[in-house]
Chain A
Amino acid sequence: METAVNEGKRVRRGRAYSLEKLERRAGLLFALPALVGFLLFVFVPMLCVLLLSLYKVDLMTYTFEFKGFGFYDKMLGDPDFWKSVRNTLTYMAIYVPLTLLLGLGMALVLNGKMRARGVVRTFFIIPYITTYVATLVVWNVFLHPTEGPVNSLLMSLGVERPPQYMVDKHWALPMLALIGSWKDVGYHCILFLAALQGVSKDYYEAAEIDGAGRLQRFKHITFPLISPTSFFLLLITIIGGLQAFYQMALLTKGGPAFSTTTMTYHIYRSAFEFYNFSYASAVGMFLFLLTLVLIAVNWFAQKKWVFYQ
C-alpha cells in the first residue's frame, strides 16, 4: 500500500519533470518556423542593410567593394538628404498633432449622447479601411487645380485664385499630411472611443457634485484616464508619419521642386530609380535611428503625463 503510493508519487513527479522538458523541446520546434522566418526576413535583411551601407554593390555581377563610411559622408553632405529630413519633419509636425486631436475629437463626439451613432461611426472609419491607392486616385482628381470639384466650388464662391494643391510647392506637403490624417484618423477614433468608454461614470458624477466644469472634468478626469491610449497612439502616429510613402508616390512623385520628397521617398528614388542601394541603405539607417530616438524621447517623457491606474 505504502509503496504503491510512493511509486505513484514518484511516477507523477517523474512525469512532471519530463513533461516540462518535453514542452521546452516542443517549444523550440513550435517556434522554429517563426525563428527561421524572423532570421530570413528581418534579422538578416537588417544586417544586410548595415553591410550595404558600407559596401558599394554591383547588381550585375553581385560584387561588393568596401567603402567604409563613404556613403554616410555622401549622405551628410547631400543637400537633397537634408531637404528630405526637413520634409519628413514638416509632414510629421502637421500629421501627428492633427491625427491625434481629430481622432480624440471624433471619439468625444461619438461618446456623447446622439442619434445614429453607428452610422456616423461608420463614416468616420470608412477612409481607414478603404484601399489607400484607390482613395488617392480619387483625391488626385478631387483636388485637380483648375477643374476639380473643390476648386470649382471655391471659385463659384468668389475665390479668384484658389490654392493649386499638388502643383504648388507650399501647398503640396501640407495637403499630403492632411490626406494622411484623413486616411488614418478612423483608427485613432476607434481606440480613443474604447478608452473613453472605459472611464467610469462615477468619476464624472463625483466631479459634478464638486462643481467641476466641462473643461476641468476633461483636464482632471478624462485626459489622465485615457493617457495610456494617447501614449500608444502617439507612438503609432510617429512611426506612421516617419514611414509615410503612398501619397508621395501616387500624387506628387516627390515634387514639385523636391517639396514632398520625404526620407522614405528619397530612399525609394535612390534605390529604385538610381539603383544606388548603398546610399539608400545609409539613408534608411538614419531613418531607423531617428525612429529610435523619437520613440526613446517619448518613452522617457511619458512619466510626466501618462497615468497608469
Chain B
Amino acid sequence: MPLGSNVRYTVRSVVYLLVGLVFITPLLWMISTSLKFEHQVFERPFVFIHWDAVNWNNYSHVLTGTDFPVWLWNSVIVVIVSVVFRLLLSALGGYAFGFLKFRYSDGIFFAFLAAMFIPYQLTLLPQFISFRFIGLLDSHWALILPNIVDVLSIFLMRQFFLSFPKELVHAAYLEGSGVFRSFVRVALPLAATPLLTLGLLSFFMIWDQYFQPLIFLHSKELYTIPIGLQSFQTQFGKQYAMQMALACLAIIPVLGVFLALQKRFVESIVSSGLKG
C-alpha cells in the first residue's frame, strides 16, 4: 500500500472513531458526572474526571442509601421468570406450528402474526382492568404473565422447526420414544442456539420495560429498575451526580451481558431481524 493512501486510511479511521465517541457523548458525560461532587456537575471549564479527587460516594450512597438493590433484585426476578416461561412456551408452540402441525395450525398461526401490529399500549388497557378485578395488580405476576406470550418468539421458533430434519425425529420414534420424549431428547438440544438467541433478545427487551411497571405497580418495594429510576428522578430532581451514578448502575448489567456476548448478540439481531 502506498504511503499516501495509508495515511488517508488511518486519518479516516480516526475520524470515524471520533464520530463514534461523539455519538455516545451523553453516556460518557454520565460516567464523568457520576464521579463528581454535586457542585462540580456544571463546572466550567469542564473536567472529564478529577483524578486527584474522584468522588465514589455517589455510588456507595446509591448502593446502600437507596432502594436500588431491591429494584435490581426485582428486575432480575421478573426478567428471569418471564424469559424462562417465554422460552418454554415458544419452544413448544414453535414445535407444534413448525414441525408437528395440526388441523388449522397454519391459519391459526396467521392470526398470531396479525397480532404483531397491535400497539402494546392498547392491550394493556383491558389487562389493567382484569388484573385489577382478579387482584393481580401491584404484583410481579402482572409484569410476568403478559411477557410469557410473545408472538415474535413463537414465530422465530416456528421458523427454526420448519426446516428441522424429519429423519432425526423419526429415528427416535423407531427407538421407541414418544412425541414428547423425542422432542426433549432430539429437537430441544438442537434448538439450543435459537433459544439462546431468543433468551438474549428477550432479556434486553424485558429489562427495558417501563410502561408496564408504571401502570401495574404502586408499591415501591416491587419496583423494577426503570420505574425505580424514574421515581428517584422525581424525588431527587436536583441531585444530578447521584442520578448519573444510578443511571450508570442501571446500565452496567445490560452492558456487561452485551460486551460478553457481543458477537452472538449481533448475530441474534441479524437472524431474527432478517427472517422476521
**Chain A positions near chain B (C-beta within 8 angstroms):** 19, 22-31, 33-35, 37-38, 40-46, 48-49, 52, 57, 59, 62, 109, 113-116, 119-127, 129-135, 137-142, 144, 147-149, 152, 156, 182, 187, 190-191, 194-195, 229, 232, 239, 242-243, 245-246, 249-250, 264, 267-268, 271-272, 277, 280-281, 284-285, 287-288, 291-292, 295
Contacts and interface: CB of A to CB of B under 8 A. Distances in A.
Given A119-B20, A120-B16, A123-B24, A284 B119 contact: yes
A131 B102 contact: no
- How would you classify the secondary structure of chain A's contact residues: helix, strand, loop or mixed? helix
A149 B33 CA distance: 11
Given A114-B16, A245-B211, A141 B27 contact: no
A31 B130 CA distance: 24
B233 A140 contact: yes
Interface stretch (B50-58, B59-67, B145-153, B190-198): B145-153
B274 A194 contact: yes
Given A25-B102, A131-B250, A123 B23 contact: yes
B122 A288 contact: yes
A126 B27 contact: yes
A34 B97 CA distance: 10
Interface in B79-112: 88-90, 92-93, 95-97, 100-103, 105, 108, 111-112
Nearest to A120: B20
B146 A41 contact: yes
B10 A115 contact: yes
Contacts of A292: 117
Which 5 pairs across A and B sit closest by C-beta, in order of nearness?
A34-B93, A27-B100, A123-B20, A48-B126, A37-B149
Contact of A26 (B12, B111, B180): B180
A42 B269 contact: no
B273 A191 contact: yes
B244 A138 contact: yes
Contact of A288 (B100, B118, B130, B274): B118
A115 B119 contact: no
A174 B250 CA distance: 27
28 contacts: A22-B179, A24-B102, A27-B102, A28-B102, A28-B103, A31-B97, A33-B88, A34-B96, A35-B93, A38-B149, A41-B123, A46-B118, A48-B130, A109-B19, A119-B17, A119-B20, A120-B17, A126-B24, A129-B204, A130-B27, A131-B254, A132-B210, A133-B229, A140-B233, A190-B270, A191-B269, A232-B274, A268-B211
